Structure 1
Amino acid sequence: MLRYASDFVRSRDGSIVPVFLMILVPLLLAVGLSVDYTSAVQTKSNMQNALDAAILSITTLPKTTTLADREKSLQQSFAANGGQGSATLDSFVVAADGTATAKASAHYPMPTNFMQIAKVDTVQVGVTSAVRKRPALVQTTFRVTKVSGYWNKTMTLYGTKFGDTVAKPLMTITYTYNGFGDPKGYGTAIVSTISGSTTTKVQQQVCTTATVKNFNSLPTGAITQTSGSKKYVTTCADTFYPANGTGAVIDVSQMDSLYLQMDVPSGSPKVLKSNDPATSNRLYIGTSNTTMPEVATGQTVDIFTAVPCGQTGYQAWEDGGNPVPADVSNADFFYTVQGKCDFNQRPSNTVLTQ
């Protein structure tokens, strides 16, 4: 084969060498184009992945971050993820309802290898990316509606701040049975907010039970019970602090995670958690006092999605006195929740749109 190639080059017959050279140049250009095109495709894919990661990362910065600082963070993330060229944050807008949208682009003059034969030294590679982030929970209000049972118990809302690893209490609702002896059992519930070492009472509900001869002329909201020949009437009075308060208003805008915990010293189990798949099935979440399905066994509850934005949600706990699954009428710990939603640093509500 080598001998034939040598003879081909040395041949004086006709114009074989010029013809060969004429064929060779476009052939090399075609091969070079293929190699450089493949390289450009791979470079573009890497840049796209880096830009997608970068634009997602800047949605977790505080709302007050300036556009310049957000772009700087985008560029750092783009480079850290292997992006080549320069990245630009084209826009970042937070709407009045807290919805955030962002667009970014990146460009790179990729040096060619073979295409330089045709005096094409670089190929422009460009990518774009866009995201939309839905508003998320930044504030929640808890308000006790009714607590019952012979067992004393405490429900606590725990939150872990961005960058922290330890959850801290944000609110408690403590219940103490009044010991009257009626079938259901009622008592006093106290709702408090917690900020560091400071605990502030914001609601107190005192339920008083008495025996009566009949259920005539009962006050509004009275709870009636019958056991044998005895008739019981329970009335509950709410006091808010301040008087025009609405319950426990908790700022969760700086929280990366939230969970509820019910401590029942006399129960079994003694500790129930919304983020524990073994005990979360004692939590009910719904749209009214009577429409509250029980959390399925083996599931965990994301409090950020369990609290509705701009409307009242209803939740309840079964404290362990009854086996589950059970109807919500068996629950002992009823309260309402209402959320305020806005731009939030949590990444879970962000989706790529381009």
Structure 2
Amino acid sequence: MIRRFLNDRRGNYAGIARTAGQLVRSRDGSMMPVVVLLIIPLIAAVGLSVDYTSAVNTKDGMRNALDAGILAITTMPTNTSKGDREAMLQQSYKANGGLGTATLNNVTIDAFGSASFTASASYPMPTDFMSIANIKTVQIGVNSAVRKTPALVETTFKVSKVSGHWGKTMTLYGTKFGATTAKPMMTIEYAYNGFGDPKGYGTTIVKKITNAGGADIITTVQKQECKTATVKNFNNLPAGAITQTSGSTKYLTTCTNTMYPANSDGAIIDVSQINELYLEMNVPSGNPKILKSNDPLTSNRLYIGPSATDMPEVATGNKVDIFTSVPCGQTGYQAWEDGGNPVPAPVANADFFYSVQGKCDYNQRPSETVLTQ
């Protein structure tokens, strides 16, 4: 009778009812029929719990895989088609263990470079115990969305003033997407004129370095030449003149800027294809001799701020992200202390001053991407 009950449960509900009635009316003294009737709901409840747990785990795995996939497509080149992005989404989704089908629903990039992406995935999960009730699959669905803010794609450097008795060179290094070696993109070279004044001034040359696949192309974009003389007094000073006094000796320094071309704003550096940027100051007579913006031991000699007089010193132990330290659409200011003075110290002690201005747009760097769903 029990065997007939178990056989009848496969979609034949009238048979189940008829068999159950026979079990209840059984007079053979056996408790087995009653036990079977009590166990059936328990098995059903446990089975439902097992299927539910499986669905929850499946959904979590799909969600994680879809998040990984949608983040992956935000690092593709800016001119990538929606179809190519969707193919990458699906590939990444599968590689991260996603089940079912992933779909790229929307890609929006506005005129200011802000971007948003939405995607979804669905999977008909087979059931184990719910199939007893003729529920063969349960549809699992997940959604994911990301927002990507504009990132630095171009930066312009212009020397304000460099001083000191030590020669020094600042170099901007960049590592392209997919590359492992940083290449120089710009140098600012300073040479002391040897006049003997307390602060010391000289000639600074800014050079832009580009490479189209062959040899580096080096182009001078700015030359600042500072000349110093002793004077009897500081009357009728020219605009921008720098004055110093040592004992009874008065020093007057004047600087001239020559831009190439004449209407240039400075060294315009394209960083749209650059994944990592850092600045390096080489001071052969300094201690330390090499200062780097991405070195926690030496980045505290860099000053960054919104104005020429408001430049806080980088806190000791920090790495500087050049991409976020250059403001978008406005002028920022930076300076270096070349090693002649201990730090921390006021920005007035710095020796190497320049301005930076950033242009921002949509970019494939992942650092500006935030999951919103």
- The TM tier, using the shorter chain, reads over 0.9
2:52 maps to 1:37: yes
Q: Retained in 2: the 8 A contact 1:88–1:105?
A: yes
Partners of 2:135 and 2:25 in 1: CA distance = 33
Q: Retained in 2: the 8 A contact 1:9–1:17?
A: no
Tell me which of 191, 195, 198 is aligned to 1:176: 191
Per the alignment, residue 156 of structure 2 pairs with 141
Match of 1:273, as an amino acid? Answer: K
**Local SS of the residue matching 2:74:** helix
Q: Retained in 2: the 8 A contact 1:170–1:193?
A: yes
Partners of 2:134 and 2:343 in 1: CA distance = 76
**Local SS of the residue matching 2:329:** coil
**Local SS of the residue matching 2:265:** coil
Partners of 2:39 and 2:137 in 1: CA distance = 23
Identity %: 71
Q: Retained in 2: the 8 A contact 1:154–1:174?
A: yes
Q: Retained in 2: the 8 A contact 1:29–1:118?
A: no
1:71-130: CA deviation from partner (whole Å, max 9, x where unpaired): 000000000000000000001111111111111000000001111111100000000011
Per the alignment, residue 126 of structure 2 pairs with 111
Partners of 1:20 and 1:180 in 2: CA distance = 107
Unpaired runs of at least 5, structure 2: 1-22
Partners of 1:252 and 1:236 in 2: CA distance = 30
Q: TM-score, normalised by structure 2?
A: 0.90
2:257 maps to 1:238: yes
1:155-197: CA deviation from partner (whole Å, max 9, x where unpaired): 0000001111100000000001111111111111000100131
Partners of 2:230 and 2:31 in 1: CA distance = 119
After the TM superposition, which of the residue ranges 13-22 and 261-270 deviates more from structure 2? 13-22
Partners of 2:247 and 2:31 in 1: CA distance = 118
Report the Cα offset of residue 22 of structure 1.
Answer: 5.2
Report the Cα offset of residue 334 of structure 1.
Answer: 0.2
Per the alignment, residue 271 of structure 2 pairs with 252
Partners of 2:341 and 2:43 in 1: CA distance = 81
Q: 5 Å matches for 1:293-304?
A: 293-304=312-323
Q: CA RMSD in A?
A: 1.8
Report the Cα offset of residue 28 of structure 1.
Answer: 3.2
Match of 1:36, as an amino acid? Answer: D
Q: Retained in 1: the 8 A contact 2:170–2:189?
A: yes
Report the Cα offset of residue 18 of structure 1.
Answer: 6.8
Q: 5 Å matches for 1:330-345?
A: 330-345=349-364
2:180 maps to 1:165: yes
Match of 2:162, as an amino acid? Answer: V
Per the alignment, residue 311 of structure 1 pairs with 330
Q: TM-score, normalised by structure 1?
A: 0.94
**Local SS of the residue matching 2:291:** strand
Q: State which structure, 1 or 2, has the greater radius of gyration over its C-alpha atoms.
A: 2
Runs of 4+ in 1 over 3 A off after TM superposition: 8-11, 13-28
Per the alignment, residue 94 of structure 1 pairs with 109
Partners of 1:345 and 1:18 in 2: CA distance = 68
2:91 maps to 1:73: no
1:234-276: CA deviation from partner (whole Å, max 9, x where unpaired): 1111111011101100000111100000011111111111111
Partners of 1:91 and 1:270 in 2: CA distance = 51
Q: Retained in 2: the 8 A contact 1:136–1:304?
A: yes
Q: Retained in 2: the 8 A contact 1:153–1:265?
A: yes
Match of 1:150, as an amino acid? Answer: H
Report the Cα offset of residue 15 of structure 1.
Answer: 11
Per the alignment, residue 212 of structure 1 pairs with 231
Q: Retained in 1: the 8 A contact 2:24–2:33?
A: no
Report the Cα offset of residue 23 of structure 1.
Answer: 4.7
- What is the aligned residue count? 347
Tell me which of 287, 290, 299 is aligned to 2:306: 287
Partners of 1:9 and 1:207 in 2: CA distance = 109
Unpaired runs of at least 5, structure 1: 1-7
